[in-house]
Amino acid sequence: MKFLTSGKVKDIYEFSETEILFKFSNRVSAYDVKFKEEIPKKGEVLCKFAEFWFEKLPVKNHFVKRSSDTEIIVKKMKMLPIECVVRGYFYGSLVNRWKSDTVILPKNTQTELAAKLTEPIFDPTTKSEHDIPITKQSAIEMNLVSNDEYDWLSSNSIKIYKKMSEIADDAGFILADLKLEFGKLDGEITLGDSIGPDEYRLWLKDDYQVGKIQEAYDKQLLRDWLTANGYQKQFDTQREQGIEPTPPSIPSDIIQRMTQRYVTAYQRLTGHAL
């Protein structure tokens, strides 16, 4: 197989003329910073979650098969240059953007931390090293997608979020938000990339409390630790100075908790042992 490229989490190889192979690693990144430490079992969880969601969701996707505990084969397609984010709760970057008046929320939205939105919202970003939120108008002006493509992505991303939320709810979880990627396959918009704990926020229903930071069953656990210890602010300051942020060492207890939560989320949501 021919090696093509490495992303933040997975390595990509050419498998055939029409297919590529994703090899999921235990690497972890947060706030667009890559860390030296790895999270045991993370690659396997991401790989098997991708298989689970692609087979579970009633939508055309590029998944072909899983070839090992950490590898899947998918069809080649031209990816659309837009990250399709759906938010169901008032949390994460949405809070700061609302405070700075850079995002408009639906009327009657409860703006207490972690409150459920009246309806899920489509909140896309650019697809770059540092993703930038975009509106329908800016997405079209930047020639990222057409008007019809944007409407299709908005409608179907929300439908997928609602379906995944139902499945998560049945397993005792809340799906707070979700990031999806789509491409064109045989001229038709098709769900692509992968879907797992690096693409969504997942909370336990039993622990959920409005107004508080939620216990995360995804990599939000690392983001919360970075924010609480001032590293997120440090990263922003370094970038403003034109300096590439320096990642701190992740404490062993954070690594262990992340592994445990990734595995727990997979087992509870899918009903499969790891």
Least Cα distance to 85 among 169, 195, 219 occurs for 195
Contact 53, 200 (CB under 8 A): no
Cα 189 from Cα 173, distance rounded (Å): 29
Q: Residues of CATH 3.30.470.20 domain(s) within the chain? A: 78-229
Contact 82, 126 (CB under 8 A): yes
> How much is the pLDDT for 101?
86
Contact 274, 263 (CB under 8 A): yes
DSSP class of 51: H
Q: What mean pLDDT comes out for the span 75-88?
A: 97
Q: What mean pLDDT comes out for the span 107-115?
A: 93
Q: What is the CA 38 to chain-centroid distance, rounded?
A: 18
pLDDT band at 108 (very low <50, low <70, confident <90, very high): confident
Q: What mean pLDDT comes out for the span 145-163?
A: 98
> How much is the pLDDT for 90?
97
Q: What percent of the chain has pLDDT over 90?
A: 89
Give the model confidence (pLDDT) of 27-78 as tens digits: 999 998 999 999 999 999 999 999 999 999 989 999 999 999 999 999 999 9
Contact 175, 201 (CB under 8 A): yes
> How much is the pLDDT for 12?
97
According to DSSP, the residues that pair with 87 across neighbouring strands are: 121, 177
CATH of 2-75, one of 3.30.200.20, 1.20.1290.10, 3.40.605.10, 1.10.645.10: 3.30.200.20
| Residue 85 pLDDT > 80 | yes
Q: Residues of CATH 3.30.200.20 domain(s) within the chain? A: 2-75
Contact 105, 95 (CB under 8 A): no
Is 78-229 assigned to CATH 1.10.3720.10? no
> How much is the pLDDT for 274?
86
Cα 138 from Cα 247, distance rounded (Å): 32
The DSSP H or E segment spanning 33 is strand 33-34
pLDDT band at 116 (very low <50, low <70, confident <90, very high): very high
The crossing angle, in degrees rounded to 10, of helices 252-270 and 42-56 is 20
Helices then strands, counting H and E runs in the chain, come out as 7, 14
Q: What mean pLDDT comes out for the span 240-254?
A: 95
> How much is the pLDDT for 102?
87
> How much is the pLDDT for 3?
96
Q: What mean pLDDT comes out for the span 85-100?
A: 94
According to DSSP, the residues that pair with 192 across neighbouring strands are: 181
The model's pTM is: 0.92
